[in-house]
Structure 1
Amino acid sequence: MRKETDVTSSGRWRAGLSLLEVLIATFVFMLAAIPIYRAISIGATKEIDSTKLSMARKILDSFRSEVMSRPFKELADQNSSNSETFVKMEGGYPETIDKVMEIQTRYKDFKLEPAIRFTTPNKTILEFRGVVKWTNSEGTTRKEEIIFLAVKP
C-alpha cells in the first residue's frame, strides 16, 4: 500500500530503494547466511571424519582376514624371537598394504602398525594387534585398534 510520503515533490511515485534500505537488507541477509554456512561446513567436516574412521576399520578388517587365512606355522615365523611382548610384524599381509596405499592416494595420512606376540609360554596362542593412525579435521591424531588371537590346531 502506498503512502503520501512515497510521492516526490514533482508528483511521481518513488521507484527505487535508498542506500540505507539496501545496507540494512544486506546486513540482515548476512546475519542469516553466516549460521547456515557454518552448519554446512561442520556437516562436511563430520562426514570426512566418519569416512576416515570407516576406512580405518576397513583396513583393520582386511588385516584380520588376511592374517587369519594363513597357517599357524607361517604366522609363528613372523615372531622369530618368540617374544611374549608385541613386536612389529614384517610382511604377511600384502593385500592390506595395497588397501592402505589405495587410501593413501586419496587422504595421505593413514599408517598401519601391525604387531604380534605369543600369549602363552608353550607358544600355542598368537595375539595380533593392528593399529591404524590418521589425522582428523582438527589436526589431532586418531587411532583405531583391533586385537585378535590365532590358536595352534
Structure 2
Amino acid sequence: MKKIIFSLILSFAFILNSAQTTEPKPIVIVQNVVMGNLTLNSLDPNKIEQVQVYKTPSTETAKFDDLIKNGLINITLKEKMTIESLTISEAKKRFKLPANALVFLNDIAVHDENILIAEDLLKTSSVIDPDKKTNNYSAPVLKIKTD
C-alpha cells in the first residue's frame, strides 16, 4: 500500500511539474548581438565590464524595444570579442523565407530586421508555414529561441 501511495505521489508531482508554464526569459545582448545560452555560457566572467538590466524601453535600448517585454540584459565587455552573427533579414534569407515572413524571438515579434543575432541561435530555430487549421499566420514564421 505504501508503494502505491508513494507511486501516486510521484506521479502527481511529475504531472504538476510538467503542467507548469515556463517563465519568460529575458533577452541577453552582448556587443549589440542577441545571444543564445550556448554562446553566453562560453563568456569569461572576468572579461565583463558592465551588466545593465532594462525592464522598460529607453533611448539606450530603442533598437531592441520589441524585445524588452520580458526584460533585456545588456552585457558590455572590456574588450571586443568576435561573435558570429547575422541580421534578422539575413536569417530569413538563409531559410529562404519571403520578405513578409514573421520573426519571433522567444515568442516576441521582432520588427527591426537589422537586429543582430548570434549564429548559434539558428541551430535551434524552426520555420512554421501558415496553416489556417493550426495557426493564424498570414506568412511563414521563423521562431528563434535563446535557450
User: Relative to total residues, which structure has the larger strand share, 1 or 2?
Assistant: 2
Looking at CA atoms only, which structure, 1 or 2, has the larger radius of gyration?
1
TM-score, normalised relative to structure 1:
0.26
| Higher fraction of helix | 1
Q: Which has the higher contact order (CA 8 A, sep 6+)?
A: 2
Calculate the TM-score normalised by the size of structure 2. Answer: 0.27
